[in-house]
Structure 1
Amino acid sequence: MGMQVSTNINFAQKYSPKEILKCLINNGLNIYYQNMVTYLSPNDIDDYNWLNIDMKLFNLDEFINSHNVMDKVGIVMVYDNESGGNLLILLNYLSILLSMNRQYLFGEDIPDFNWYLKKMSVFLRNIKLSSIQCETIY
């Protein structure tokens, strides 16, 4: 097993995962990576069976509307068309598994969490937070 890198954001209040997804998109995250969209079906309760679809066949509005207001949302998102990972958005929690083209401080052993948090700064300023946890498991 390789390195696991994640950022977990706990909200101080409940937010609709659908609205959080829209906020993330409006603040620079993109759902397209290598001409594909990777996502969880709205009826995927606990299997975490990630699905891939050509970006030309994916309809973001249909995807968002297929979720109930409080359903979790799972989707891969990236910054600058290169760096990001799997996002799970729940009512009071956002988990980002940073698995795609990670940004590093030195060489390839210390993830640059500051790079990711700077990219998310507008989003983070517009929600009520209770904690941000950045973790690397070697």
Structure 2
Amino acid sequence: MKKFVKYIVYAFAILILCFIGLMVLAGLMFGDSRGCGKDSEAAEYARSVSQERLAKLYKDMEIYYLNSEGEFDDIYLQSNQDIPIEFRDLEVVRISPGRNHIMVEGCFDNYMYMYFRGISTKEEKEIILSYGEFEVINEKLWPK
């Protein structure tokens, strides 16, 4: 009987180790190599956009929003669709004028956005970089 219990314990330990190994492997395969965190390349890129370019970008988003008639058409910059000249210089994933945001990076299960506050509202006009999975961080990019 002792040997039987011993084998059950060994089998259970092997199953746990296999499960942990599979989780690590899945994390490596499906994990985010680009990153959507504070120190990621995407965050550094968003912070590196000049204040002048952000001001123009805000105006362009406002114009597209006002002309969108409430449409939520997205502009995917990593596709073959026609990209408006106002946005061609950006290194982002998607521009959503009808939703007042730009997806800077899309990660496994979280995203990094630039939100354009104050378009069609009485809020202060600003661009906010938002990122984080469990705790969402909002960082003011414009105006500084």
Query: TM-score, normalized by length of structure 1?
Result: 0.29
Larger Rg: 2
TM-score by structure 2 length? 0.28
